[in-house]
Amino acid sequence: MFRPLCNLPLPRLLSSKLRELGFMYCDDVCIDRNGKPILDPIAEKVLRQWSDEPCTYWKELLATPATKNAFSHLQDECDLGRIETFCRSLDEYMDGGVPLQRITEFSGAPGSGKTQMCLQLCVDVQIPRAFCGLEGQAVFVDTCSGFTVSRLSEIAEACVNHCSMLARDGLNQNMLQAMKHFSKISILENVFHVLCLTHVDLMASIIYLKKFLSKHKQVRLIVIDSITFPLQTIDNSLQRVSLLYDLMENLRTIASEFDVAVVVTNNLTTKVETGKESSLIPALGESFGHSVNYRFLLGRMSDSNFVCVSGKNLNKSSVTVPFQITRSGIREVQNN
Amino acid sequence: MDSLQSHLGAESGLQLLSRLENRPSLIDLDNVIFESGLLPNEIVEINGDVSSGKTLLVTQFLAKCLLPKSYCGIDIGGLNAGAVIIDTDHHFQVLKLVTIMEAYIARSGCSSNSLVDANTVESIIKDALDNLTILHCYDGVQLLITFHGLKNILSCNRNISLLVLDSVSAFYWQNTLNNNGIHKMDLYLKKILISLQKHIHEFKVSVIYTKPLYFQSKVHNDSNVIGKYGKISRQIKLQKVLNSVNLFYAHICDNSNRKVLSYEIGNDGFHWHVAQEHK
Amino acid sequence: MARLCKEMNSLFSEFVLKNLRLCGFHTVVDFLEENPENLVRITKLPYKDIVLLRHNIIANFSAFQSSGKTAYNEIVTNSAMVSTGIERLDALLGGGILTGNIYEVCGLSGSCKTQLCLTIAMNIALSLKQKVYYIDAKLDFSSRRIFSMLEEKQIAETDVTETLKRIEVVRIKDLYQLFSFLHTLRENLAQRELESSFVRVIILDSLPAVFFSFLNDTNNEGIALKSQLANTMKHIALECHVAFLLVNLASRHFDEIENLPDPDLTVSSVQTEVVKPALGKQWLHIPSTRLLLKKVESQVHVSIIKSINIPLCSSCILNIKDEGLV
């Protein structure tokens, strides 16, 4: 079976040009001459109008993604580490925290602790290696002006205090050394805040992120809080959905290419079923749910008590995990 | 084309032979659907929804067509004719064909005959399968070239009287991408059938093709005349009864009459319900 | 190969090709469809050469012809029923996954589609010691999950490593990479008789992920590529005797069937929730067997909604456990 040219990502003009000249398959463009593949001279001429190096261009078009067996995948997954949440039962529930290279969604009603969770993760991703952290940086894409520096510095201060206590008590030289560069100020410096008020801003920032991340190799976390907000202004539902897919595809590429964790927050919407009571489910529909890897639903029980339920998690069945949001951030629920 | 034949000395001799010769008759292909029998050069369309049994019906036709009339004096009831299937959708399964053939032989009453054991059944089926030519097509260009090659296949096998195309629409979407030519589904269908007919009309074989239900232009004109070579003589439309598990309707219409039959799908093919409704 | 070139036949000299192209004959189809007498005039080749070329092209580019008997023998010797390792699912499928076919698993998001694929991949690698390809289009493959399933099954450490090594994962970014991978795979599989452990099952998770970006296309490009992808997979499935297991999304539709004013003014509308597979009506025809998954608490209901061999609407229930689906 020959591979038709139309299943290559060619510019439309180029593919119609080639088609006019009778090129239909890859084998028409690249001919096997005595066991050596060479570009057809006419095709080469056409390709040259699009690229100075037609041969390399052609090879890149046909490049096959590499395979890797599950064993080395496992090793990589273990090497990558995760972003802890500071609440042990949540971490256990999430297999050690928010995973890198994946898209994790937190959804919940207003005031259910989504933004708190994001801020906490922005701090936690920076914990020095000496404390088994990732020592990374974070990008906070803020779409509904929910980012508050004062809250972030509160959480940061609590984290620094906690770490320095650990270092002092353990008299660990590495930890003490690491604490010299780990302060509230350094934490605030290592969170990059992007404000995006419209969907155009958001799309542009996501595309720009690729460039940004190739310069800032230390970034391990990208937060988008929230992904729903800028999309609400688009009336045309088809346009909205296709924009959302584009966003997700870009985020997925970024996540795997730069080894970062992507965290998005989502709102809830009402689902009405005949014969049943209406229930609240994450917004943006079934196919959005399909394109995130992990989905957690957050809810507020009372003043400072919250719960987390898995809506979609490969590894665990759905159980409810309680957690607390205190002044210092997300914490384990204390049993009297 | 005519001028081509006049030049191809050797080949047109073969063609002359096949023209003079009678291919096996398909009059008895299916007495329920084709009451008056399937005639040479007829074109039959089977359309229907997902899992309404299009490919199954075709497979069933093939089974009857390929099986011998009798085996060592035992009546089997096949037509002993050859067939070609151009498989573009790749739903056709030889194993299914064999299952249906086995059921057919069992029904014909041979199984009660002590002379026929499992080995004999297998050899009957294997002989019958030898009458079948399968052509797997994977893209539109290949399909067109395969049509050109049919001439050769048909003139070499004078036994072939049935040609099945399953399905006609398989490469439509690629075609819309490849050339800016035909976008209308009806026109595409017509084009395919005409180019098929061009190559085989002199061989007097019957054609059965399948197409999915959605495959027709939005503005559907009911003229099923396809050029100078003939027209679609019958349409069989398969439909599942809403909310039923295994109950289907077949609307069969040919030039003169229409009828509606209901059926179930079993492991060995269609089970027609006896109650018939004439319109 | 469809474009006329000198590699096809020595009769296609530079001169002949140049003349043909000047008259707009670029491909083999152009050549075949044209009146031979015209071609003689254009190419200045003798008539018998044109006839020879026609025969040559037909022989080289038409579909491969096989008799029903050969096809049957080939299927009997080469095809295999691959057990999924999940007893109830095997029973439902009539023994397992049959090579040469495309199976589709669809369900709402979070209905354990990926779980099922991971479990099947693990079982095949573990018990049948076969290589499995896992095409990961949305970063859902989790070797950690497979690892913990194997641990739960109390498999010896060396076997765990061996099993994991048998699962080949390939991450694809878009549809075009998927095509590239499939074509390379086809070439590799063609020579697989040499290898000791060959491939029977290829898992693709998930199909909609690669087509999402074509949602808004006006040229029907997405549909065309879908049909091409289907053809490519069917080709590989049939010629290389492997089976594809695809993950598709399903979505809810509300079909309002009747909304007639009722004389008694009681219930006036009948609204039914229908779960439909994604990717459109053209795709509905493609897989030979389609399974619908529905998660109910810690169980998954599997039902067959399209198949050639299995009676429709038969179903089974699987349990979600730490060692995978059982």
Same domain for C38 and C153, yes or no, is no
Same domain for A164 and A52, yes or no, is no
Q: Does B17 reach chain C within 8 Å, measured CB to CB?
A: no
Same domain for C153 and C195, yes or no, is yes
Report the sign of the C-alpha dihedral through residues A109, A110, A111, A113, in that order. positive
**A6 within some domain:** no
The answer to whether the CB atoms of C63 and B143 lie below 8 A apart is: yes
Specify whether the CB–CB gap between A118 and A140 falls below 8 A. yes
The helix (run of H) or strand (run of E) holding residue B136 is strand B132-136
Same domain for A54 and A88, yes or no, is no
Dist CA A299 CA A102 (whole Å): 23
CATH architecture of B2-237: 3-Layer(aba) Sandwich (3.40)
Checking if the pLDDT of B222 tops 60, the result is no
Query: Each residue of C83-96: pLDDT tens digit?
Result: 999 999 999 998 89
Same domain for A108 and A56, yes or no, is no
Tally the domains of chain C: 2
Same domain for A100 and A149, yes or no, is yes
Question: Residue C21, by phi and psi: left (phi above 0), alpha (psi -120 to 50) or beta?
Answer: alpha
Same domain for C33 and C176, yes or no, is no
Residues from chain C contacting residue A293 (CB–CB below 8 Å) = 138-140
pLDDT bin (cut points 50, 70, 90) of residue C263 is very low
**C82 within some domain:** yes
Query: Each residue of B94-148: pLDDT tens digit?
Result: 988 999 999 888 887 665 666 667 888 888 999 999 999 999 999 888 999 999 9
Report the sign of the C-alpha dihedral through residues A146, A148, A154, A156, in that order. positive
Interface test with A, best of C21, C113, C179 (most A CBs within 10 A): C179
Same domain for C307 and C193, yes or no, is yes
The answer to whether the CB atoms of A24 and B177 lie below 8 A apart is: no
Same domain for A104 and A170, yes or no, is yes
Same domain for A44 and A87, yes or no, is no
Interface test with A, best of C28, C105, C109, C185 (most A CBs within 10 A): C109
Which pLDDT score is estimated for B5?
A: 46
Of A6, A19, A24, the CB nearest to B141: A24
Same domain for C157 and C273, yes or no, is yes
**A164 within some domain:** yes
Same domain for A167 and A259, yes or no, is yes
**A5 within some domain:** no
Checking if the pLDDT of C196 tops 90, the result is no
pLDDT bin (cut points 50, 70, 90) of residue B21 is low
Which of A133-142, B71-80, B183-192, B220-229 holds the top average pLDDT? Answer: A133-142
Same domain for A121 and A244, yes or no, is yes
Which pLDDT score is estimated for C233?
A: 94
80-99 in chain A: CB under 8 A from chain C: 95
Report the sign of the C-alpha dihedral through residues C4, C8, C13, C16, in that order. negative
pLDDT bin (cut points 50, 70, 90) of residue C283 is confident
Residues from chain A contacting residue C144 (CB–CB below 8 Å) = 74, 77-78, 95, 315
Q: Which residue has the tokens 């180029």?
A: A14
242-271 in chain B: CB under 8 A from chain C: 245-246, 267
Report the sign of the C-alpha dihedral through residues B189, B191, B194, B196, in that order. negative
**A336 within some domain:** no
Same domain for A276 and A320, yes or no, is yes
Same domain for C299 and C272, yes or no, is yes
Dist CA A263 CA A118 (whole Å): 8
The torsion defined by the Cα of B215, B217, B223 and B227, in degrees rounded to 10, comes to: -80
Q: Does B136 reach chain A within 8 Å, measured CB to CB?
A: no
Q: At what angle do helices A149-170 and A114-124 cross, to 10 degrees?
A: 40
Checking if the pLDDT of B3 tops 50, the result is no
**A252 within some domain:** yes
Which pLDDT score is estimated for B20?
A: 60
Dist CA A92 CA A313 (whole Å): 13
249-268 in chain A: CB under 8 A from chain C: 249, 252-253, 255-256
Dist CA B68 CA C65 (whole Å): 23
pLDDT bin (cut points 50, 70, 90) of residue C195 is low
**C320 within some domain:** yes
Which pLDDT score is estimated for C125?
A: 93
How many Å lie between the alpha carbon of B119 and the closest alpha carbon of chain A?
37
The reply to whether the predicted model has a pTM over 0.90 is no
Residues from chain A contacting residue B177 (CB–CB below 8 Å) = 6
What count of residues does chain A have? 336
The residue ranges of chain A whose pLDDT is under 70 are 273-277, 313-318, 335-336
Checking if the pLDDT of C138 tops 50, the result is yes
How many Å lie between the alpha carbon of C6 and the closest alpha carbon of chain A?
10
Which pLDDT score is estimated for C161?
A: 93
Dist CA A230 CA A233 (whole Å): 6
Of A8, A40, A289, the CB nearest to C109: A289
Same domain for C34 and C129, yes or no, is no
Closest CA in chain C for residue A315: C145
Residue A279 backbone dihedrals phi, psi, to 5 degrees: -130, 165
Range of the domain at C221: 70-325
Mean pLDDT check: name the lowest of A183-187, C286-290, C320-324: C320-324
The answer to whether the CB atoms of A22 and C176 lie below 8 A apart is: no
Do β-strands A219-225 and A261-266 pair in parallel, antiparallel, or remain unpaired? parallel
Instruction: List, in order, residues 6 or more apart from C120 with CB less than 8 Å away.
Output: C84, C85, C86, C97, C201, C203, C245
- The one-letter code for the residue type at C307 is S
Indicate whether this complex's ipTM tops 0.95. no
Grouping H, G, I as helix, E, B as strand and the rest as coil, residue B222 is coil
Tokens at B255, concatenated:
């030039």
The torsion defined by the Cα of B111, B113, B115 and B116, in degrees rounded to 10, comes to: -10
Sequence-ordered strand ranges (E) for B3-62: 43-48
Q: Does C249 reach chain A within 8 Å, measured CB to CB?
A: yes
24-53 in chain A: CB under 8 A from chain B: 24
Quick one: average pLDDT of C250-277?
55
Range of the domain at A41: 14-62
Same domain for C137 and C21, yes or no, is no
Same domain for C167 and C314, yes or no, is yes
**C6 within some domain:** no
Which pLDDT score is estimated for B73?
A: 77
Same domain for C141 and C177, yes or no, is yes
Tally the domains of chain A: 2
The torsion defined by the Cα of C314, C320, C323 and C326, in degrees rounded to 10, comes to: -20
Which pLDDT score is estimated for C265?
A: 40
Report the sign of the C-alpha dihedral through residues C215, C218, C221, C226, in that order. positive
Query: Each residue of B55-90: pLDDT tens digit?
Result: 899 999 999 999 999 887 778 888 999 999 999 988
Same domain for A196 and A265, yes or no, is yes
Query: Among A67, A65, A57, which residue's Cα sits nearest to residue A9?
Result: A57
Checking if the pLDDT of C267 tops 50, the result is no
151-170 in chain B: CB under 8 A from chain C: 152-153, 170
Same domain for A312 and A171, yes or no, is yes
The answer to whether the CB atoms of A19 and B141 lie below 8 A apart is: no
Which pLDDT score is estimated for A276?
A: 63
- Beta-carbon pairs below 8 A across chains A and B: 13
pLDDT bin (cut points 50, 70, 90) of residue C192 is low
* H helices present in C85-206, as ranges: 87-93, 113-127, 143-152, 157-166, 175-190
- Cβ-based burial of B42 (10 A; exposed 0-12, middle 13-18, buried ≥19): buried
- Domain CATH code at residue A246: 3.40.50.300
How many Å lie between the alpha carbon of A83 and the closest alpha carbon of chain C?
16
Dist CA A55 CA A53 (whole Å): 6
Of A21, A63, A67, the CB nearest to C170: A67
**A51 within some domain:** yes
Checking if the pLDDT of B149 tops 70, the result is yes
Query: Among C140, C145, C98, which residue's Cα sits nearest to residue C308?
Result: C98
Closest CA in chain B for residue C313: B245
Same domain for C113 and C204, yes or no, is yes
Is the model more confident about C311 or about A227?
A: A227
Instruction: Give the single-character DSSP code of C204.
Output: E
Same domain for A25 and A147, yes or no, is no
Quick one: average pLDDT of C309-319?
81
- Domain CATH code at residue C237: 3.40.50.300
Residues from chain C contacting residue B131 (CB–CB below 8 Å) = 68
B129-167 per-residue burial string, b: 16 or more CB within 10 A, e: under 16: bbbbbbbbbbbbbbbbbbbbbbbbbbbebbebbbbbbbb
Quick one: average pLDDT of C51-78?
90
Residues from chain B contacting residue C67 (CB–CB below 8 Å) = 129-130, 132-134
Residue C162 backbone dihedrals phi, psi, to 5 degrees: -60, -45
Checking if the pLDDT of C191 tops 80, the result is no
Tell whether omega for the bond before A150 is within 30 degrees of 0, i.e. cis.
Answer: no
Query: Among B26, B49, B34, which residue's Cα sits nearest to residue B234?
Result: B34
Same domain for C116 and C192, yes or no, is yes
